[in-house]
Amino acid sequence: MTWQRGRLSALVADEYGQFSTFYGKLPGQTLKLNLRTRRAGEVRVGVQVEDQPDEGRPHAECDPIIGDHLGYTVTWKGSSDLKVTPGAKVRLVFRLRAAELFGAEWV
């Protein structure tokens, strides 16, 4: 058997799906995703800061992510800046439509 690097398993949303991670210390300043969407699909990500509702990035500001990417840099209104204080505890909120998410990585 063979498979594309980083594509052994995925979270799949055939139609719509949403999930969030647990809060954890921010390990990097840029978020990269390994994902694939179908023709009408997209992925959006929000960044929420624990006990700081004015910090972070809402998923509605996330530029729609469409296509097949092994290391796509997530952007909000054209910027990859998280608007989060370094060392803050954050969680990610994912919204998927007709998409497969294979992984997320902080760099």
pLDDT of residue 87: 85
User: What is the number of structural domains in the chain?
Assistant: 1
Residue 35 above 80 pLDDT?
yes
* Residue 28 confidence class, pLDDT cut points 50, 70, 90: confident
- On whether residue 60 sits in a domain, the answer given is yes
Burial class of residue 61, CB neighbours in 10 A (0-12, 13-18, 19+): middle
- On whether residue 5 sits in a domain, the answer given is no
pLDDT of residue 90: 95
Averaged pLDDT, 15-43: 95
pLDDT of residue 2: 67
- On whether residue 7 sits in a domain, the answer given is no
What does DSSP assign to residue 63?
Answer: P
CATH code of the domain covering residue 102: 2.60.290
% of the chain surpassing 70 pLDDT? 97
Averaged pLDDT, 81-106: 93
Measured CA to CA, the distance from residue 80 to residue 101 in angstroms comes to: 19
Which domain, by its residues, includes 94?
17-106
107 alpha-carbon distance from chain centroid:
13
Between 27 and 6, the higher pLDDT residue: 27
- On whether residue 6 sits in a domain, the answer given is no
CA distances from 29 to 18, 55, 56, 78 (A): 23, 14, 12, 15
Residue 100 above 80 pLDDT?
yes
Query: In a 3-state reduction of DSSP, which class is residue 44?
Result: strand
pLDDT of residue 38: 95
